[in-house]
Amino acid sequence: MDTQTLSFLFIGLSFALYIGIAVWARAGSTKDFYVAGGGVHPALNGMATAADWMSAASFISMAGIISFMGRDGAVYLMGWTGGYVLLALLLAPYLRKFGQFTVPDFIGERYYSKTARVVAVICLIFVSFTYVAGQMRGVGIVFSRFLEVDVTMGVLIGMGVVFVYAVLGGMKGITYTQVAQYCVLIFAFLVPAIFISILMTGNPVPQVGFGSTLSDGSGLYLLDKLDAVLVDLGFSPYTNGNKATIDVFAITLALMVGTAGLPHVIVRFFTVPKVSDARLSAGYALVFIAILYTTAPAVAAFARANFVETVHGTAYTEMPNWFRNWEDTDLIAWQDKNGDGIIQYHNGAALVGVKPQFSGGRGDHGERLVENGPSANPNEVYVDRDIMVLANPEIANLPGWVIALVAAGGVAAALSTAAGLLLVISAAVSHDLLRKTFMPGLSDRQELWYARGAAAVAVTIAGIAGIYPPDFVAAVVAFAFGLAAASFFPVILMGIFYKRMNKEGAIAGMVTGLVFTSSYIVYFKLIAPKLNSSAHWLFGISPEGIGTIGMLLNFAVALAVCRYTPAPPVAVQDLVDDIRIPSGAGIAHTH
């Protein structure tokens, strides 16, 4: 069977599995729909959390980005794992003890205010939609490249599958589907990594392999060789940092704190039976996540080394098929600047302009011609970072079934995250906006139908965003983390650890963090992208890292306002005492 048939087969089988699980685990009550009945085993919840967390970006894009960033890629590796420490130590157990359905629930009750609840819902919807549109685009990329179906068709199929198990099964269906999706995606990520590690270094463990010597007989360490080759081509060494230290610091912190504040991650810890399970479950989640996150930097180094070796100095007509396949999807372009028919790969942008504009014609060697003017440097290759993971098995000449597996893994990663996000959106609308704010008379059964309806609407909007990706989506991914860091994390943390924090402080803090962070990102990403360089940044911190400052502002404003406004009611202070204790109905008070 050829690779395409195998891809159809693998993706088809995995879809059948997901839908089967959804029918088996359909939701019967709002408690099932929002928190899977609150009875999920911590290890299974950890696995589901890992699938929920690891999106198309983690699976498809991250290793690619790292392979071009070198050591600085650690901002994503540490940023997207370190947040789980904050989550397990500072948030998850207490939110589990609180025991409601959504993040705005906690904020609304702890700060005894509908305003706080509605502000939280607005943040949540904004953060989640930004994130979900990217997932649908990931599904589209996989479908268009591996199944050669139209991107629109791919997104529609993906929407259909998510619709079935998110709308039908709610959190319960999603949880058990995500367990299956985790297995698919981690297997798909590890198999090619192990293969390539054996091929290049003889060591089957990628985490060790990329620190080992090459098996080509040179006796050189892989990373030393990679550094040397890149320096020859005019790049800086792979293992050196290039970004300013303060920016690396700020981005890592914003991503960590943002991770801990993302509603679709937090809500997963509402599904386990006990407080101690919430802590344990966060530990399991990080183990399952770390398996991928420690493999990704190995894949990144392997991919970069392979790519350079295969591409540089090879005649276009001699290139393996994958090069032309990816050229056909617009993600690779080659412009024969010196007319020798041989591909030269160097540091610097090959083309003038951000993306290649293909003219439709073919050059002397059969390459697709681009309309962009040649840039001044000798580099002839444009390559989109997103292809590195997907193309890696092909670049390393692995068998067709491995490539098909990677396609199924990419789809699993995208769908599991999309479903988790859609659920928190629907819960925020049906539970927080309708039942708790605007339509308090709803019965449990009615609320369940509104939740299903909201999930259906959210799937549709996400799908439309995937088919017609707004240009700004890629530019505002920083939003999701920045806003979560600047809005949710500080108010939840103070809600647990600072009993005196009142609604005036919390609302003022949230609004300040939100307004500051979003204006900074909008200014540099959308209004004045030309000024987006370290010379113009505040303290040299990029829009990706500005959530850190937003968070600090949130804390400062909240603490200041809280000092001059009345303390929260006794009932709320008792609530804080109660969530701090893992067992029992609460602590004794003398009233």
Residue closer to another protein by CB (options 252, 512) is 252
Q: Is 71 in the site for another protein (CB under 8 A)?
A: yes
Closer to another protein by Cβ: residue 90 or 461? 90
For the chain, give the number of residues. 591
Alpha carbons 285 and 129: distance in angstroms, whole number: 23
Scanning residues 546 to 575, which ones bind another protein (CB under 8 A)? 569, 571-572, 574-575
Least separation, in Å, of the C-beta of 16 and another protein?
18
Looking at the Cβ atoms of 37 and 547, the one nearer to another protein is 37
Residue 290 found at the interface with another protein (CB under 8 A)? yes
One symbol per residue from 362 to 381: x for binding another protein (CB under 8 A), - otherwise; what is it?
--------------------
The residue with tokens 């159809």 is 8
Among 3, 4, 68, 78, binds another protein (CB under 8 A): 78
CA nearest to 141, candidates 19, 66, 63, 57: 57
Asked if residue 98 binds another protein (CB under 8 A), the reply is yes
d(CA 88, CA 289): 14
Site string for another protein, 251-270 (x = CB under 8 A): -xx--x--------------
Exposed (0-12), middle (13-18) or buried (19+): which is 403, by Cβ within 10 Å?
Answer: buried
Binding window for another protein (CB under 8 A); candidates: 131-139, 179-187, 293-301, 360-368: 293-301
How big is the CA angle at 471 (ends 517 and 66), to the nearest 5 degrees? 70
426-445 footprint of another protein as x/- string (CB under 8 A) = ---------xx---xxxxx-
Q: What is the DSSP string of 485-533?
A: IIIIHHHHHHHHH-TT--HHHHHHHHHHHHHHHHHHHHIIIII-GGG-S
224 binds another protein (CB under 8 A): yes
Q: Does 306 bind another protein (CB under 8 A)?
A: no
- Among positions 36-55, residues that touch another protein (CB under 8 A) are 37-41
Residues 122-181 that bind another protein (CB under 8 A): 172, 176
- Sign of the Cα torsion 467, 469, 470, 473 reads positive
Nearer to another protein, 463 or 545 (CB): 545
Q: How many residues bind another protein (CB under 8 A)?
A: 97
Q: How far is the CB of 551 from another protein (least distance, A)?
A: 15
Q: Is 294 in the site for another protein (CB under 8 A)?
A: yes
Say whether residue 280 binds another protein (CB under 8 A). Answer: yes
- Burial 123-158, CB ≥16 within 10 A → b, else e: bbbbbbbbbbbbbbbbbbbbbbbbbeeebeebbbbb
Of the candidate residues 20, 28, 353, 361, the single one contacting another protein (CB under 8 A): 28
Question: Which of 211, 320, 348, 373 is in the footprint of another protein by CB under 8 A?
Answer: 211
Distance between CA atoms of 407 and 425, rounded to whole angstroms? Answer: 27
Nearer to another protein, 169 or 192 (CB): 169
Give the residue, chosen from 374, 400, 453, 586, that forms a contact with another protein under the rule CB under 8 A. Answer: 586
Which residues sit opposite 358 in a β-bridge?
A: 370
The whole-angstrom separation of Cα 472 and Cα 551 is 24
Q: Which segment (139-147, 184-192, 257-265, 274-282) binds another protein by CB under 8 A?
A: 274-282
Backbone angles phi, psi at 26, to 5 degrees: -75, 155
Cβ neighbours of residue 471 closer than 8 Å, sequence gap 6 or more: none
Least Å distance between CB 581 and another protein?
5
Q: State which residue, 28 or 313, has the beta carbon closest to another protein.
A: 28
**Helices in 262-320 by DSSP H: which ranges?**
263-266, 275-311
Cα separation, 136 vs 145, in Å, equals: 15
CB of residue 391 vs another protein: minimum separation in angstroms? 21
Pair type for strands 332-334 and 358-362:
unpaired
Residue 223 interacts with another protein (CB under 8 A): yes or no: yes
Q: Identify the residue among 217, 360, 584, 591 touching another protein (CB under 8 A).
A: 584
